[in-house]
Amino acid sequence: MQTVTRRPLTPPGRAASTPRGLGRRRHQQLSERLAEQNQHLAAAAMAPPQELLNEYQSSLRGLPPLGVARAEERFGRNEVSHDRPAPAWWQFLTAFNNPFVLILCVLAVVMLFTDVIFADPADGPSYKGVITLGIMVLVSVSMRFWQEYRSGKAAQSLQSMVQTTTAVTRQNEYGEPVTTELPIEEVVPGDIVELAAGDMLPADLRFLRTKDLQINEGMLTGESLPTEKSPVTAMDVDQQNLLEADSLGFKGTSVISGSGTALVVHTGADTYFGAMSRELTGKRPETSFDQGVKKVSFLLIKFMLVMVPLVFVINGLTKDWTSAFLFGLVTAVGLTPEMLPMIVTANLARGAVKMSKRQVIVKRLNAIQNLGAMDVLCTDKTGTLTEDRIVLERHLDVHGTSSLKVLRMAAANSRFQTGLRNLLDRAVLDAAGPEVLSELEGAYSLIDEVPFDFSRRRMTVVLDGGSAPLMITKGAVEEVLEVCSTVMLKGHPAALTPARRRELEELVAGQNAEGLRVLALATATATRREDYSVQDEREMTLLGFLAFLDPPKESAAAAIAALHRHGTLVKVITGDNELVARTVCHQVGIADDAGLLTGVELEALDQDEAAFAEAVERNTIFAKVNPMQKARIVEQLRSNGHTVGFMGDGINDAAALRAADVGISVGTAVDIARESADIILLRKDLTVLEAGIQEGRRTFGNIIKYIKMTASSNFGNMFSVLVASALLPFIPMIPVVVLLQNLVYDLSMLSLPWDKVDQEYLEKPQKWESKGLARFMLTIGPISSVFDLSTFALMWFVFGANSNDQAALFQSGWFVESLISQTLIVHMIRTGRIPFLQSRASWPVLLLTGAVCVFALVLPFSDFGQGLGLVSLPWTYFPWLIGTLAAYCLLTQGVKQLFIRRYGRWL
């Protein structure tokens, strides 16, 4: 056998820095790593046990103390890489990593120099601007930090794992074998482990001895049924399908029944589980939400880079350069949606709170919006579409008709066996029910049994219930047919001719085509004695067949139909076989009209990117795919322009969970799946997801409201400032008042997370559109400028505020009109309907926007406002104000209807 070469583990606490989406290169690297490990495992499966023990310098007595020490030094602890949360101070600092927050920080520093350090000695230092900007920054950053820190803590509590131990046989100092329970982290290559029902496999293993051993490998394969294991040396092993090797076991899988002894071959990062975990930890790249925020941010920054220099130059040429510089800074603040990070976080945090009441933990707040934008949901089959349990779907006679006698005899076989019952036995007993079982217990008693073994793949009980003992055999179809000479036809035995055998095989094939696993059932009358053996299983009569299935969830079909109605297409990606996948999908309403693709077919398309992209787009069911193919499918869908969610809970789902825009797992999932996910469901149900998608769209609607409201009004205000700067002999608005106006308006926007969203907005996926935002700004922003200019004319010609002496009156009149119109427009923009009549804002929005309007009216008359430089307005101003605001609302509503008619959407 070839030497098993290994590489050292990643040091504990260090995680490789890898992107969220593996990408083609990462796929290749991980595939090469897995191929190398598969080669080692294939060699182990084909090596005789003693040769393999010699290779690892071990024996059935276990490793000697010196061998354990050497293995620990060479391979390290049996641990895999995990993402570790950053310290709180680092999370707080990263909350500053936002372009708008950074702009405000720069402006605050500039104001510190201009208004405080180098202030005019005659006026003294002014801290108003610095304090106002500081409050904006701290409130935004602190809120974002707290919400994400708290969400991270909640998710981390789910990920804490109880220490798991395993029975390990090692030699003591006298060379005697001693079996003790050790933490799985202390297991090393060469160790001998003892396995029993309920144990988790601590590493990748080569079985040396088994007794009725069945392993649940669902987290790797996606299949519900357990896998039978044996120590038989494989003659040939397909490295692409190592999970089918009977003599190998894999870390993280668990023992359903039976017992076994195994040699540890790979530990830690060298296991299949470890390789996946190591490649999937570290930094995640941007999702569609992150990219959308960035596009919007840079769009607004581009406007700022154009407007601010213009305002500065125009004011500098027409007035003095010092006041022009200060007003230029204030203009930059006015164009900055400084509360965007906080408003986004507040909306997402409220969404997270509402989802937590539905048993959903949101690990990454941005994932809520991604749920709303998701137009394709990829999901595994087991436990999501199905109940993740085996049921006896049919009990058929040899004609293919339902037979109570077949059910009764199968229940007797399962009830009286003395070994550990597997999932199929439990399904038979559940189908029979307590009345039938009670009747059987009264009618029969156990004489003997011939236990199940992997070579003959059947088990027999011998029961006493009449004049002669009754043998009942249940097992794999081929193996049961081998011991049958007759079949039960219409209540009488008939010879099992080749023609009848072909008919039976066709019947079984039909059941298999529907995704059912079929066992055969046979009986015979035996001669009475004490002991029975395999040789007694002969000349039996075939009674019929038992067909098993992991049934679909009752809620799955309705949930999928609801997802489709709301614009989210469901695609199934499973490691299970195509027959089972197709059957379950048909039962829950997922059609495969374009066909079904298997992993082998996908591999054939791997080199043709265009064909691969088209196949992934067209098909809705993907069966028998490996973990890397799952991730490739998800990434290809994202490349095709979709916002993709993936739902899974196994090791084989981890790569796809990280590749998706939003990864969804469950609280009972393996730890690597929970780590890779963005959202964790405490109840694995698509109905919960459908509600989450609606919540995501509502959250996004309220976020986009703020962006469009603020961007358009700020753009309109600054356009007005540009015109005023060119025409007026004085600064059109007091700089500190501009800062105060922005702060008060933005504080009122904190009510938006509690606002309602029109029902039609929730009917389809919602995505970021930076181009749409620019179009919106250019359409709606100038409307406010029209009425700003009318207010300029009003103050200049009607109220005589046309000189430096009357600048304060002009600035006060524009402040009141500007703040009230900016706040009133909130109700115009928040809905595509007629505000107040067809769509009314929530009470928090009504109260806070109303309070801002009152504040605008009162401030010029207050001592505080007059301390800022404002003056009282004449009462004759207010009828003009009412007319201006009414005309503003009517014109905005008219433009809104034209905009919706032209572009088909509003928000």
pLDDT at 390: 86
Bigger pLDDT: 339 vs 46: 46
Bigger pLDDT: 79 vs 260: 260
pLDDT at 196: 83
- CB proximity list for 523: less than 8 A, separation 6 or greater: 409, 470, 471, 472, 473, 540, 541, 543
- pLDDT over 60 at 816, yes or no: yes
Active-site residue numbers?
A: 380
Confidence of residue 5 (pLDDT cuts 50, 70, 90): very low
If you ran DSSP here, which 8-state letter would residue 402 be given?
B
Confidence of residue 1 (pLDDT cuts 50, 70, 90): very low
pLDDT in tens, 31-63: 666 677 778 888 888 888 888 899 899 999 999
User: What per-residue string of b and e applies to 557-569 under the rule 16 or more CB within 10 Å gives b?
Assistant: bebbebbeebebb
Average of per-residue pLDDT across 751-764: 87
pLDDT at 16: 33
Confidence of residue 846 (pLDDT cuts 50, 70, 90): very high
Q: At what angle do helices 770-793 and 877-903 cross, to 10 degrees?
A: 160
Average of per-residue pLDDT across 92-120: 75
pLDDT at 222: 60
pLDDT in tens, 449-464: 988 776 678 899 999 9
pLDDT at 334: 65
Strand 177-183 and strand 517-525: the pairing is unpaired
pLDDT at 883: 94
pLDDT at 272: 76
- pLDDT over 70 at 436, yes or no: yes
Bigger pLDDT: 172 vs 239: 172
pLDDT at 705: 86
Decide: pTM greater than 0.85: no
User: What per-residue string of b and e applies to 851-862 under the rule 16 or more CB within 10 Å gives b?
Assistant: ebbebbeebbee
Least confident residue range of 145-149, 193-197, 756-760, 833-837: 145-149
Confidence of residue 6 (pLDDT cuts 50, 70, 90): very low
Between the alpha carbon of residue 722 and those of residues 333, 408, 548, 717, 727, the distances in Å are 15, 89, 75, 9, 9
pLDDT at 134: 80
Confidence of residue 333 (pLDDT cuts 50, 70, 90): low
- CB proximity list for 555: less than 8 A, separation 6 or greater: 685, 686, 687
pLDDT in tens, 173-192: 888 899 998 988 899 999 99
- pLDDT over 70 at 879, yes or no: yes
Bigger pLDDT: 29 vs 686: 686
If you ran DSSP here, which 8-state letter would residue 20 be given?
S
- pLDDT over 80 at 496, yes or no: yes
- Mean pLDDT for all residues in the chain: 81
Percent of the chain with pLDDT over 90: 27
Least confident residue range of 129-143, 508-522, 721-735, 747-761: 129-143
Average of per-residue pLDDT across 266-292: 67
Confidence of residue 239 (pLDDT cuts 50, 70, 90): low
Bigger pLDDT: 877 vs 491: 877
Confidence of residue 2 (pLDDT cuts 50, 70, 90): very low
Confidence of residue 502 (pLDDT cuts 50, 70, 90): very high
Least confident residue range of 328-337, 358-367, 443-452: 328-337
pLDDT in tens, 396-411: 999 999 999 999 999 9
pLDDT at 4: 36
The pair of structure tokens assigned to 837 is 């009549």
pLDDT at 161: 38
- pLDDT over 60 at 380, yes or no: yes
pLDDT in tens, 461-480: 999 987 889 999 999 999 99
pLDDT at 454: 64
pLDDT at 159: 44
Average of per-residue pLDDT across 100-112: 75
CB 733 within 8 A of CB 721: yes
pLDDT at 655: 75
Bigger pLDDT: 265 vs 575: 265
Average of per-residue pLDDT across 109-129: 75
pLDDT at 29: 60
pLDDT at 463: 94
Listed ranges 293-297, 391-395, 748-752; the one with the highest mean pLDDT: 391-395
Distance CA 716, CA 825 (A): 12
- pLDDT over 60 at 157, yes or no: no
Distance CA 434, CA 509 (A): 32
pLDDT at 562: 87
pLDDT in tens, 519-571: 999 999 998 888 898 999 999 999 999 999 888 888 888 888 888 888 899 99
- pLDDT over 60 at 69, yes or no: yes
The identity of residue 99, as a single letter, is P
CA-nearest of 345, 245, 384, 390 to 673 is 384
Confidence of residue 744 (pLDDT cuts 50, 70, 90): confident
- 286: exposed, middle or buried (Cβ count in 10 Å: 0-12, 13-18, 19+): middle
Average of per-residue pLDDT across 652-674: 76
Distance CA 134, CA 864 (A): 20
pLDDT at 321: 75
